[in-house]
Amino acid sequence: MPVCLHFDPMTDRDASAPAPYDLLAADYDLPTGRGPVERSYIICSTPRSGSTLLAEAMHRTEQLGVPAEYIDIGASLPYLYERWECAGLDEYVSRLHDHRTTDNGVFGVKTHWHQLLQFTNVSQGAEPFAATNFAVISAVLQRVAPQPAYIFVTRRDKERQAVSHWLAATTEKWINLSDDPVGDIPPYDFEGIERFSEGIDASEEDWERFFALAGVEPLRIVYEDFVAAYDETVETAAEYVGIDPGGLTVSPPRMRRQSNEQSREYAHRYRKERTG
């Protein structure tokens, strides 16, 4: 299904402001002129599922692109759109492929369901959360990542995931790249955590519906299994994308856990209250 991409960033972002995530900065742009994208993959996720940990691990192999949330219309897309001085979404996608594809032709992108829905609608001139259909979502996604391999990242402990998402959204601390201890966290809020839990469940259902309609079975990665077998999981993902894992170098993660004793207690309390 052919689609046209339209986008007006409508941003007042200061061009000199730092990148919302350091992997979006110019230091991580790759040299152009390597030819077309030969393989692409999409890390399909829900917030706080471990998808950023996986994306970073794949990037650090230097053979699997630089996967990031390139279609997030709230942060990543406006920043790169302005930094690359794009004239439209077609040029933006072209720049993504030019600057974020590794020498072996691999390009990757990470997205949460709500980001994909918003990007699809805005690219078609609609409101971010307007109703849309599978064919349009799929066609838009194919424009960004041609013939992609799908990797679906979930988390087994949904209570801890919900608490983590609530905390990150409340404190606006989404990633920790230092050894500094986690600071004070807000008071426990069952209703707030429950809203994020419901959002996680709904997003997973939407992804499952998408896979069913697309007729694809993604590579499924569960966060708890991933952290228990870090190198092996990255190698499995690489092989799924079509890259021989025998030649990969898997580097240790640079991200630090943001959970602490208090957040774990919140998850325990939430689990008890939720189950009655």
Query: pLDDT tens digit string along 211-242?
Result: 999 999 999 999 999 999 999 999 999 999 99
Low-confidence ranges of the chain (pLDDT < 70): 1-17, 33-35, 174, 176-183, 255-259, 276
Rounded Cα distance, 214 and 141, in Å: 12
User: In sequence order, which residues have a C-beta less than 8 Å from that of residue 164 and are 6 or more positions away?
Assistant: 48, 258, 259, 263
Give just the sign of the alpha carbon dihedral 96, 99, 100, 103: positive
Q: Are the C-beta atoms of residues 83 and 23 closer than 8 Å to each other? A: no
CA separation for the pair 222, 204 (Å, rounded) = 13
- Residue 47 makes CB contacts below 8 A (sequence gap 6+) with 112, 161, 165, 168, 196, 200
In the prediction, which pLDDT does 10 show?
Answer: 47
| pLDDT of res. 274 | 86
Residue-wise pLDDT for 237-273, tens only, equals 999 999 999 989 998 887 656 667 788 898 899 999 9
What is the model's pLDDT at position 259?
66
Q: What contacts 122, CB < 8 A, 6 or more positions away? A: 6, 7, 73, 128
- Please, what's the b/e burial string for 111-132 (b: 16 or more CB within 10 A of its CB; e: otherwise)? bbbbbbbbbbbbbbeeeeeeee
For residue 35, count other CB atoms closer than 10 A to its CB.
Answer: 9
Dist CA 263 CA 85 (whole Å): 41
The whole model's pTM is what? 0.90
- Strand 106-112 with 149-154, pairing: unpaired
> How high is the pLDDT of residue 61?
96
CATH of range 37-245+252-275; options 3.40.50.720, 3.40.710.10, 3.40.50.300, 3.40.50.10490: 3.40.50.300
Strands of the chain, DSSP E: 39-45, 106-112, 149-154, 219-222
pLDDT for 182: 58
What pLDDT score does 132 carry?
81
The pLDDT score that the predictor gives to residue 131 is 81
